[in-house]
Amino acid sequence: MNLGGTIRLNPLGVCVLIGGCVLIFVYMNFWTSDDISREVSPPDEISLKKLLGVAINAAVLGGEEVRRVNGLENLNQRSKGKTDEGANDPVTDADFLSHCVMLQTLTRAFPNIKIISEEKPRKKCEEAPSVVFDENQLVESYSEIEDMTVKPEDVTVWIDPLDATQEFIEKLLQYVTTMVCVAVKGLPTIGVIHQPFKESKTYWAWVGHSKSPSVKSQVSPQRNIIVSRSHAGEVKNISQIAFGSDIDVTSAGGAGYKVLEVINGNASAYVHVTAIKKWDICAGDALLRSVGGNMTKIDGHELDYSAKSSQFNRGGLIATLQDHLWFIERLQKFYSNEKLSS
């Protein structure tokens, strides 16, 4: 036995061995650092806190465009056709300019989320004035709110660049709003309703997290309902049959405005019986939820605001702060009686 034998090193073997080690080291190192960077910053999770700030700004900046056009000689109004109610569906330069500013504001901060707007402008939005603001500063001003992130594919943003265009043209400016709504998995989660006229007020809420001091809910002292100006006669009749002849019915422009009237105690229910678009109601739905109110179709079901859902709600609408079932049951009875008698 030769216990003291020497190991003979083959120079080629040593090279292969060292080279192999280096390769493994480099490979492991890159692999690990790549893994770590992925953990530290998930590629495209959406911060809802930042989205809240950007949504508020989008609504306010859109409102500034609406005010600017209102000051011009010519609103450049034209018709988009007829609404489902058979009324003229007008549009002005204010609708388009507000749309562009709101869309740009949101897409610049969140290029990878789905945004659905009432307007699809003829002119490209690149031609619209671009407004610059610092998104990081926004996050600072909401620093007391705890953040939450969601997947971009779960987010749908609904924007209404100018709610109550007909009233805007008629200079009934108290009804005019700009709105942004963030739905997460179809649920209304963040709602912003901005009133550019009067004293210019912004109402916002992140359901279950925070809301603006302007959102102060108060239950209406008597049972009264608020309905759309464009088909007030018909709903007045329906309401007096469904809820009793002594119920007070007022009409107003703008779905955003009507929801605010329910929240601030000027109306106990907002009732709508014809088709309505989701960008008209999503922000109000979120605001109502944030104060414990309800918005449903007449059959009592909640609305789905996911991108794959229809942009129309054809199931009618009831929005209340309290006694939701009382309104639903009576309106449902009216509709089932109608069906029986026709």
By C-beta, is 149 or 322 nearer to ligand NAG?
322
Tokens, residue 317: 């609408």
Among 76, 218, 310, 311, binds ligand NAG (CB under 6 A): 218
**Is 163 annotated as a binding-site member?**
yes
Among 266, 306, 322, 332, binds ligand NAG (CB under 6 A): 266
Among 104, 230, 268, 296, binds ligand NAG (CB under 6 A): 296
- What is the rounded CA–CA span in Å between residue 277 and residue 66? 20
**Is 280 annotated as a binding-site member?**
yes
By C-beta, is 218 or 310 nearer to ligand NAG?
218
SS3 per residue for the chain: CCCCCCCCCCHHHHHHHHHHHHHHHHHHHHHHHHHHHHHHCCCCCEEHHHHHHHHHHHHHHHHHHHHHHHCCCCCCCEEEEECCCCCEEEECHHHHHHHHHHHHHHHHHCCCCEEEECCCCCCCHHHCCCCCCCHHHHHHHCCCCCCCEECHHHEEEEEEEEECHHHHHCCCHHHCEEEEEEEECCEEEEEEEEECCCCCEEEEEECCCEECCCCCCCCCCCCEEEEEHHHHHHHHHHHHHHHCCCCEEEEECCHHHHHHHHHCCCCCEEEECCCEEHHHHHHHHHHHHHCCCEEECCCCCCCCCCCCCCCEECCCEEEECCCHHHHHHHHHHHHHHHHHHC
Query: Which residues share a beta bridge with 216?
Result: none
**Is 331 annotated as a binding-site member?**
no
Count of chain residues binding ligand NAG (CB under 6 A):
13
By C-beta, is 94 or 263 nearer to ligand NAG?
263
Q: In the complex, what is the shortest distance from the CB of residue 177 to ligand NAG, in angstroms, rounded to a whole number?
A: 15
**Binding window for ligand NAG (CB under 6 A); candidates: 40-48, 139-147, 198-206, 262-270:** 262-270
By C-beta, is 68 or 324 nearer to ligand NAG?
324
Q: In the complex, what is the shortest distance from the CB of residue 71 to ligand NAG, in angstroms, rounded to a whole number?
A: 24
By C-beta, is 155 or 263 nearer to ligand NAG?
263
Among 83, 264, 306, 322, binds ligand NAG (CB under 6 A): 264
Is there a contact between 251 and 228 (Cβ–Cβ < 8 Å)?
yes
By C-beta, is 66 or 252 nearer to ligand NAG?
252
Residue numbers 311-330 binding ligand NAG by CB under 6 A:
324-325
If one asks whether residue 265 binds ligand NAG (CB under 6 A), the answer comes out as yes
**Is 160 annotated as a binding-site member?**
yes
If one asks whether residue 233 binds ligand NAG (CB under 6 A), the answer comes out as yes
**Binding window for ligand NAG (CB under 6 A); candidates: 38-46, 164-172, 232-240, 330-338:** 232-240
Binding site residue list for Mg(2+): 118, 160, 162-163, 280
Residues near ligand NAG (CB under 6 A): 218, 233-234, 237, 264-266, 289, 292, 294, 296, 324-325
